[in-house]
A = this chain, B = another copy of it.
């Protein structure tokens, strides 16, 4: 087990009706805020009205900025930064899923910086301060509601880049599973793939003695899989299933599951090129890439993949033939993704395989990716090819 620091200061307020607590929580930090959202679902569902009423009750004033898209764009971040500076706003409130929260985090950094906020995403600067960020989560997926991550796409490239710094961790996040009843099954499934991927990135480690966190990872994955199936099978309004998925999405990415170990994160980097170039949902991209990543690496530490197959997918025979068990695990992982409506190949995701060499070069533009096994452009190309062929 490696040395680690574990610290997560986000206050999670979870359950039915909790969005009405928003105003009071926000007022602890600011009286004038940016209210950031996509302008879609939250408006139609009436959630935006509830949020505004709660802010008003707590005498919090807001300036609204909507229009955030999936794979959130830098141009929208620039807009938000300008508003925050001009209006002297003190807080960014995200109402939405990972895209809105990530965009809010970027705005929060930019609001306290004189230069171009992209400097932080382009690894020229390290983010050390930001406006406080809070969130009302509507899509369980990215775990951004209690994470230090923000991923933004500069559409001029397009480049999809991330910042991971403590200063952008939300001070609070409000999670009401009822809000997700109306989330379409495809978006629900994309979120499930994203949270499973967050756990798998941590689970596939070369650190040998991490038994406790292995157990926690495996248990969380099983709970996600079972409850995702319930929702997909007509359980859109099943509160308990929605609640398990929503809480799992936060736990998957709040760093508890990576304590003492080094995560891999190659699949995320490899996927980012898919969503940057083809604007596919991140979760769908991960459903295509992750099984290919496992197949490419299956000989690196076959017993670990066999254990994944046995403990997460109930594969028997794990102790007779590790490789066979491991392959059966990948098969079941893909089957699961497909069963909840996700693409698992380039063809199913409408990804053009002609751009594989370009995507591989782009993936490694800052150097090799991954920790489980360091991957260069050739390796990444091979993984794209597996994903394209199957």
| A contacts, CB < 8 Å to B | 1-18, 177, 208-209, 211-212, 214-216, 218-220, 222-224, 226-227, 239-240, 243-244, 247-248, 251, 256, 259-260
* A18 with B3: CB separation less than 8 A: yes
Q: If the complex has contacts A5-B13, A259-B14, are A226 and B248 also in contact, measured as CB distance less than 8 A?
A: no
* B244 with A212: CB separation less than 8 A: yes
Q: List 10 interface pairs A-B (beta carbons < 8 Å), by A numbering.
A: A3-B16, A5-B11, A8-B8, A211-B227, A211-B244, A212-B248, A214-B223, A215-B220, A215-B223, A216-B251
> Which residue of B5, B177, B224, B226 contacts A12 across the interface (Cβ within 8 Å)?
B5
A212 CB contacts on chain B under 8 angstroms:
219-220, 223-224, 227, 244, 247-248, 251
Q: If the complex has contacts A5-B12, A209-B240, are A247 and B220 also in contact, measured as CB distance less than 8 A?
A: no
A13 CB contacts on chain B under 8 angstroms:
5
* A243 with B1: CB separation less than 8 A: yes
* B247 with A223: CB separation less than 8 A: no
Expressed in whole angstroms, the minimum distance between the Cβ of A318 and any Cβ of chain B is 16
Q: How many copies of this chain are found per oligomer?
A: 2
* A6 with B1: CB separation less than 8 A: no
Expressed in whole angstroms, the minimum distance between the Cβ of A178 and any Cβ of chain B is 11
* B227 with A220: CB separation less than 8 A: no
* B247 with A14: CB separation less than 8 A: no
A14 CB contacts on chain B under 8 angstroms:
3-6, 259-260
**A7 (CB) vs chain B CBs: closest residue:** B11
Expressed in whole angstroms, the minimum distance between the Cβ of A316 and any Cβ of chain B is 14
A13–B2 alpha-carbon span in the complex (Å): 11
Expressed in whole angstroms, the minimum distance between the Cβ of A194 and any Cβ of chain B is 16
With contacts A3-B17, A14-B259, A251-B256 known, what are 7 further pairs, Cβ within 8 A?
Answer: A4-B12, A12-B259, A211-B223, A212-B219, A215-B219, A243-B260, A247-B260
* B9 with A9: CB separation less than 8 A: yes
A17 CB contacts on chain B under 8 angstroms:
3
A20–B384 alpha-carbon span in the complex (Å): 46
**A11 (CB) vs chain B CBs: closest residue:** B7
A244–B210 alpha-carbon span in the complex (Å): 7
| Max chain B C-beta neighbours (<10 A), residue from A16, A177, A208, A243 | A243
